[in-house]
Structure formats: structure tokens, C-alpha cells
Amino acid sequence: MGKNCRSYDELIDKSINQLHTEGRYRVFADLKRIKGQYPKAKFLDPETGTTRDVTIWCSNDYLGMGQNESVIKAMKHTIDEAGAGAGGTRNISGSTIYHKCLENSLADLHGKESALLFTSGYNSNEATLSTLAKIFPDCVFFSDELNHASMIQGIRNARTKKHILKHNDLKDLEELLALYPIDMPKVIAFESVYSMDGDIAPVEDIVALAKKYNALTYIDEVHAVGMYGPRGAGIAEQQGCMDQIDIIEGTLAKAYGVMGGYITASAKMIDAIRSYASGFIFTTALPPALCMGAFTAIEHLKTSNAERELQRQRVQQTRDALDKVMIPHFDNDSHIIPVIVGDPKLCKAITDDLMDDYGIYVQPINYPTVPRGTERLRFTPSPVHTEADIDYLIQSLIAVWHKYDLRFYSHAA
Ligand code: PLP
């Protein structure tokens, strides 16, 4: 290419055009959120420059905690008390009593000795998994095929041997584990609630295999923390095997409504990750206000079941309403309702219509987030959606389903 800048431009155009051709060019919806009104928001129409009312149906603020008054109050209070930013990495002036307080709360949530904060769930997965190979040289990873991009990247960066497991397949896992000597370091990395299909891992069974073959377990509970288990610690808590898992990873950005990621584990494990993980060491710590917002949400959801119960009710009502009008959706035991469209351009056209004609915001989910041919709408009903919101959603979907001549039937395969 030489130093001819036109060639750079041509290559950029080529890569972007490829996305347009495949129908998976991503268009962000610019929203103006209004405190206290979620899931209602204003959408800034890029063509007219005007705003209009929309209802958000695809948020990961699963319980509406991003709008919770005590969370907001805690954040405002901490800004007044401590200022805006952390001012440094955890090692160089950025470690505060607020970080410590949140880490103690997280360790308590998961019944572990220690916790470690990261600036996102993505970072916590990438940094921790890649660092395990530094601590356990020659370790072998066993990674579920539907694991999130951040886990895939972490395992890639570990630059050690890996096996990609058939999704939630215990037989496949056992056959692969059995290939290695018992004293060879092994890490089984998996999610509890899979974000795009919404299905749930057999955590207890995976833990049992890990014990049998002397493997460490690493679970991503990003879509489960705050939501499942008596104190909101996730699926491992719900299945009664939290104490058997070596490393539990989570986010503060979904059910806890704020931002940041973390792991919890034994004090020794956390000390080692803290000491070797580049993605932890060389980046600025979370702002104190975020820590206290997350702390407030976590402590609240340790004792309050009201949000979880209402959310479950809304999820069930949405599923029942979809069944009644025979719009196909994945059946699973979680709060995530995927409606498969199977074509990226159609998926985009449907979501554009829902936004433009009905004021319903649901983002199209395309490759590489999901496999090609399984493009979908992903609905996440929350306690702040009303029964009237659900009715309106269903009526709008029926209209769009007719317009595009989509199939109606009772359940997807
Ligand atoms: N793990 C899973 C399974 C996810 O779906 C996501 C994000 O959606 C992450 C990790 C990253 O979490 P965060 O948004 O906090 O970076």
C-alpha cells in the first residue's frame, strides 16, 4: 500500500461496505434518558434531528436499578464527598476506601474471601483468563462454544492449549478432561445465563466434573448477578454450589445498573491476579461514585426480592402474550426472550419499523454477536415495564409480523 493515504481510505471503505452488503452495519440509537421515566426515553432521529418518545425493550438494566433513587443518591453524595475520578491506577494513588468497601460487599455476596474490581465485565474476563496462564503455566482451557467475546479473547491471550466445548455438553466436557493427566492444570470457563439464547448452564454438574478431574472452574455470572439466588449472587447461588466454584466473575453494569466488572475468589487467587493481570494493573480505577452506586444496588438486592419478583412476572406475561398470538420465541428458564428472525436485513427492517412506526426500541442482534442465520430480537422485560407496555408491544409485533409475512407458531425449536 505504500504511504498513499487514498489506499487507507479505500480499505476502510471496503471494510465498512462489507458490513452494509451483509446488512449488519451497526447503527446506534441515540437516546435521551430521563431520570425516573425508564423504560421510556426520547430517541433522537438522525434524519429529522427531532426527538420522539420510545419504550426501551432491549436494555440490560434488567431491574431498573440505574434509576433507583438510593443508587443515584449514593453516587451524588460520593461525588460531593470525594470528587469525580479515582485519580490513578489502583497501585498509584487510585485505590480508595470506596473500592475497598465495594470489594468487601462483592466478596460477601459470593461467599468468597476476596474480590477484585475491574473497569468492566469485559476487562475482568479478558484480564483474568489471560493471567491464569501466567500463574499456571501450560494450563489447558475448556471453553464453552457460546462464551462471550471477552472470555474468548482472554483465553486467546493466554496463548496456551484450549478446547472449545459443545454448548452445555457434559459428555463432551468429560471426554476432553479425561485426555489430560490429573495433575495437569485445567480451567473450565463457562457462563451461567447465556446472554443471547438465555439458557442456563448445569453449573452443579460442571463443578462435579471439575472436582473429578482436578480442574479449576471459572464462571461468568454477568447476566445472573442481582437476578438469581436468594441474595442475587447468581445461578451458582441458586443451584447451591457457589462455594465449589473457584472464580466467579460478574458485572456492575447490568442488574446493578451502573458500570464496572469484578471477580471473587480465594484471597490467594485474588492476590495473584491483582499482581499479574495487565488489564487490572495498567488502567485507572473506577470513579468512587460508581463504586458507591454499585455498592448501594448490591446491598439493596441482597435483601430485596421485590424487583426480582416483579421482573419474573413481567417476563412470564410477555412470554404468555407471545405464545397467545403465536409469535415464536426461544423457551428458556431466564429473563431473556430471544425472537429469531434469521436474516440480518430483515431483522434491521423490523426493528426500524418498530422504532419509527410504533416507538418501540429493540436493537437488531446480528453476527458476530450471534451465529449467522440466527439474527434476532432480544427482549428483556423488566419490573418497570407495565402490563400496558406489554400489550402494546405485542400488538405492534403482530402488525410487523403481518407486514413482512413472518411465520406465526407456538414455540421456536
Ligand atoms: N460477559 C458476558 C456474558 C456479557 O454478555 C458481557 C456484556 O454484555 C460481558 C461479559 C461484559 O460485561 P460489561 O458490559 O460489564 O463489560
Of 34-48, 150-164, 212-226, the range with the lowest mean pLDDT is: 34-48
State yes or no: pLDDT of 4 exceeds 90: no
Residues 6+ apart with CB under 8 A from 322: 328, 329, 337, 339, 394, 397
Phi, psi of 246, rounded to the nearest 5 degrees: -80, -45
Segment 343-357 shows an average pLDDT of 95
The string of pLDDT tens digits covering residues 109-149 is: 999 999 999 999 999 999 999 999 999 999 999 999 999 99
Segment 265-283 shows an average pLDDT of 98
Residues 6+ apart with CB under 8 A from 264: 106, 107, 109, 110, 112, 114, 115, 116, 247, 248, 250, 270
State yes or no: pLDDT of 227 exceeds 90: yes
Query: Which atom of ligand 1 is least distant from the CA of 147?
Result: 3
Q: State percent of the chain over pLDDT 70.
A: 98
Please tell me the distance between residue 263's alpha carbon and the centre of ligand 1 in angstroms.
13
**Which of these is catalytic: 112, 162, 254, 348?**
254
pLDDT the model gives residue 186: 98
State yes or no: pLDDT of 410 exceeds 80: no
Residue 308 contacts residue 83 (beta carbons within 8 Å) = no
Segment 390-410 shows an average pLDDT of 93
pLDDT the model gives residue 1: 57
Segment 36-47 shows an average pLDDT of 94
Q: What distance lies between CA 363 and its chain's CA centroid?
A: 15
Cβ 191 under 6 angstroms from ligand 1: yes
Cell of 379: 427482549
One-letter amino acid at 75 equals: M
Sign of CA dihedral 154, 240, 108, 98: positive
Q: Choose which residue among 148, 191, 197 to substitute to test ligand 1 binding: the one with the highest number of ligand atoms within 8 A of its C-beta.
A: 148
Quick one: 17 exposed, middle or buried, by C-beta within 10 A (0-12, 13-18, 19+)? Answer: exposed
- Three-state SS string over 34-59 comes to CCCCCCEEEEECCCCCCEEEEEECCC
State yes or no: pLDDT of 273 exceeds 90: yes
pLDDT the model gives residue 2: 59
pLDDT grade, residue 413 (50/70/90)? Answer: very low
Q: Hey, is 401 helix, strand or coil? A: helix
Active site residue 254: yes
The packing angle between helices 387-403 and 306-324, to 10°, is 30
pLDDT the model gives residue 100: 98
Question: Which residue's CA is minimally distant from atom 13 of ligand 1?
Answer: 121
Element (H, E) at 21: helix 5-22
Please tell me the distance between residue 284's alpha carbon and the centre of ligand 1 in angstroms.
19
Give the Cα separation of 215 and 235 in Å (integer): 20
Question: Which residue's CA is minimally distant from atom 3 of ligand 1?
Answer: 148
Q: Residue 264 pairs with which residues in a beta bridge?
A: 115, 248
Segment 98-115 shows an average pLDDT of 98
pLDDT grade, residue 47 (50/70/90)? Answer: confident
The string of pLDDT tens digits covering residues 276-325 is: 999 999 999 999 999 999 999 999 999 999 999 999 999 999 999 999 99
Query: Which atom of ligand 1 is least distant from the CA of 251?
Result: 15
Please tell me the distance between residue 388's alpha carbon and the centre of ligand 1 in angstroms.
30
Residue 223 contacts residue 191 (beta carbons within 8 Å) = yes
Residues 6+ apart with CB under 8 A from 302: 109, 231, 232
Give the Cα separation of 225 and 233 in Å (integer): 5
Give the Cα separation of 196 and 222 in Å (integer): 12
Please give the DSSP secondary-structure letter assigned to residue 413.
Answer: -
Segment 234-244 shows an average pLDDT of 98
Q: Residue 200 pairs with which residues in a beta bridge?
A: 193
Please tell me the distance between residue 201's alpha carbon and the centre of ligand 1 in angstroms.
16
pLDDT the model gives residue 409: 81
Q: State percent of the chain over pLDDT 90.
A: 95
The packing angle between helices 203-212 and 170-177, to 10°, is 10
Q: Please, what is the average pLDDT of the chain? A: 96
Q: Which whole-number Å values give the CA distances from 179 to 145, 170, 172, in the listed order?
A: 19, 15, 11
Cβ 197 under 6 angstroms from ligand 1: no
Cβ 365 under 6 angstroms from ligand 1: no
Cell 463432551 belongs to 172
Give the Cα separation of 162 and 166 in Å (integer): 13
Query: Which atom of ligand 1 is least distant from the CA of 195?
Result: 5
pLDDT grade, residue 3 (50/70/90)? Answer: low
pLDDT the model gives residue 5: 66
State yes or no: pLDDT of 46 exceeds 60: yes
Residue 228 contacts residue 133 (beta carbons within 8 Å) = no
Cell of 174: 468429560
Cβ 148 under 6 angstroms from ligand 1: yes
pLDDT grade, residue 258 (50/70/90)? Answer: very high
Cβ 43 under 6 angstroms from ligand 1: no
Cβ 217 under 6 angstroms from ligand 1: no
Cβ 251 under 6 angstroms from ligand 1: yes
